[in-house]
Structure 1
Amino acid sequence: MAAREELHRHHLRQRQAFRERKDILNELDDRELVKRYRLDRAGITFVTDLVRERLKRPTVRNKALSPEMQVIITLRYLATGKMQQCSADDLGPSQQTISRVVSDTLEALSDNAILSQFIRFPVTQLETQRRKEEFLQIAGFPEVIGAIDGTHVRIVAPSEYEAEFVNRKRYHSINVQFAFDARYHIIDVVAKWPGSVHDVRILAQSGLCTIFENGIVPAGCHLLGDSGYPSKKWLLTPYLRPQPGAQSSYNRAHKKTRSVVERGIGQLK
């Protein structure tokens, strides 16, 4: 009797695991896709093509998740921050499978070969000169090639080192460092530090600091940062107590020019 009941439960689990999955790309129009997954059909296909080979499953099972579905599940998770929501949408897999899919997809998208196609810090004379000209047009601030800031991305409380991820506003996060150019393009990102870590430490231990300190970036190039950062030859911050005249003018131009990073981060949220 016990063996028969166990066999019955096994069949129920199989039916649940292999229930019919939605054909998301054909069932939903672009407007609904953007609402749920933040990308339209063309965008989802583009992202999938980037990682298609990495996400193909070496299995003969006819119920294996396609690369498209793995990307869709990951996008839904990123849009909501809840694996339960992926299950509630009846995307098919169990929550355990969803967790594995999200992890695998994010790892594939984080490959340096992919990131370098879209995020690359300017280090040649030609690249830096173009950025300087674009920033100069904003508020007349010369020699700027990027603006930097940190932002906290909320996460679910981790099971390990939980306290380290609690930021000063008392919620769990990752403190992400961004650098933007004048066109709101990300030119550098560091997304590995828990929320309790200060922006200054993240910058000090980043590759961005290394390439400036070691002279890989041409001389005469600067980043703009807020007053939370230390002032350096290559990192310009505002005067804390500006005097009327040149210092106040400097701060106004600095604030207007550096606003690209605030707007850039705002567009990501």
Structure 2
Amino acid sequence: MSCPFLRRQPVAEGARIIRRAFQINRVLRDRPDPLAQRESVIVERYRFSREGVIYIINLLEPHIKCSTRRSQALTTAQTVCIALRFFASGTFLYTIGDAENLVKSAVCRAIRKVYLALKQFLGVFVVFPSHLRPQVVKQNFFAIAGFPNVIGAIDCTHIPIKAPPGPNEGDFVNRKGVHSVNVQMVCDSMFHITNVEAKWPGSVHDSRIFRESHLCTLFELKYFMTPFPDPNPGPQTRYNAALARTRARIEMTFGQLKERFQCLKSLRVAPDRACDIIVACAILHNIATIRKERIPVVGVQPDDDLQPVHLDQPSGRAARDRIGCPPQWFGFHSIQGPAPLLGYIVVVQDHHLFLFFFSAFFLVAVINRQTSLNRGF
């Protein structure tokens, strides 16, 4: 009779005991619905109303929906809300991960997935001169300060980023010694962003960004003229003041954009990703503006103290006089009627106004550096 203990395999038996002792049961994390909160909390956290967030979810779902059936995958709603939370707060990824019960890498992937999906809608939500008819855009600008035939306001703004590694690090240092991306945007009178150029380092001058942008090819620059130096009381003063009030729209648009999406005040990402995030925020800003979401409180007052630039062209003086000198300037050729002039582009540079003559359009612009005169702008 054989011993029963000899038929056992002690190694296999010990392995089974160890596996049983160290068996880890799978834990299914219960992540609450991000939209199952009060409306005020949703607006404060995501900068959109509940209906606005649902609209963005439905818009992006075909592009970011996870194809896996694993139970740990994030839903489209969770992915979008994580990205919106980052755009709205600009906080660290660890902080968002702790709040959403996620690791940092999952938060990073969710944000990247959303801003790359939003970039595909750039041509849908960012359209120059506007989604409205040019005649309507001109009327809206004319209602601000009586300046005729304006179809947009243009300016450049610096978005701070962390210092990128590599030999090109110095290219991103702007004139204030801060690493940044220099972004050119155009807006209409309703604060809709109609054009965005987000690809230039902070050291690149505003005039070069405009010269090499697609927007520059749309216009035919011919004449160069300044505003009225030491304007006389009456039409000349009203002309300069209206110019300043009209171009203030782009400053207010920048203020709303950065106040709505706090991440734009400092992006701790690589330059290429920073540019993608800036474009995504511009698209989200337009969605919020079109849907009439809550507008951030931003106070920007136009600066009417316009210092003259001693660069005068006879053709520029003549065209300026035709606009500013007649006493009926503010009723000057109703927008509905034919205008006797071609268009103008107004550039404000450190309180220095310039007028460029181009055919068919008006474009109000703000350029922030004094050296553009020496760059041939």
TM-score (norm 1): 0.76
In structure 2, the partner of 1:130 is 136
Shift, 1:260, TM fit: 0.9
How do residues 41-60 of structure 1 correspond to structure 2 at under 5 angstroms? 41-60=50-69
Q: CA deviation at 1:170?
A: 3.0
Distance 1:77 1:172, change over 3 A: farther
For structure 2, the 5+ residue unaligned runs are: 1-17, 259-377
Q: Measure the CA separation in 1 of the matches of 2:130 and 2:35.
A: 40
TM-aligned CA deviation for residue 20 of structure 1:
3.1
Q: Distance in 2 between matches of 1:71 and 1:238?
A: 47
Q: 2:176 aligns with which of 165, 169, 177?
A: 169
Secondary structure at the aligned position of 1:212 is classed as coil
User: 1:233–1:11: structure 2 CA closer, same or farther, 3 Å change rule?
Assistant: farther
Give me the whole-angstrom Cα distance separating, in 2, the residues matched to 1:138 and 1:79.
Answer: 30
Q: Distance in 1 between matches of 2:110 and 2:63?
A: 12
Aligned length: 235
CA contact (8 A) 1:151 1:175 kept: yes
Counterpart check, 1:35 vs 2:68 = no
CA distance in 2, matches of 1:20, 1:194: 43
In angstroms, what is the RMSD of aligned CA positions? 3.0
Moved more, 244-253 or 66-75: 244-253
Report the equivalent of 1:221. Answer: none
| Preserved CA contact (<8 Å) 2:130 2:137 | no
Residue 151 of structure 2 aligns to a residue whose secondary structure is: strand
Q: 1 CA distance for matches of 2:225 and 2:138?
A: 17
Candidates 194, 208, 233, aligned match of 2:201: 194
Would the aligned equivalents of 2:161 and 2:181 in 1 still touch at CA under 8 Å?
yes
Q: Which residue of 2 aligns with 1:244?
A: 231
Q: Tell whether 2:109 aligns with 1:100.
A: yes
% identical aligned pairs = 41
Matches within 5 A, 1:1-269: 19-26=29-36, 28-81=37-90, 82-89=92-99, 91-111=100-120, 114-122=121-129, 127-159=133-165, 161-213=168-220, 232-233=221-222, 239=227, 242-245=229-232, 247-269=236-258
Give, in angstroms, the shift of residue 141 of structure 1.
1.2
Gap runs ≥5 in structure 1: 214-231
The answer to whether the 8 Å contact 1:83/1:98 transfers is yes
1:166/1:42 Cα in 2 relative to 1: closer, same or farther (>3 Å)? farther
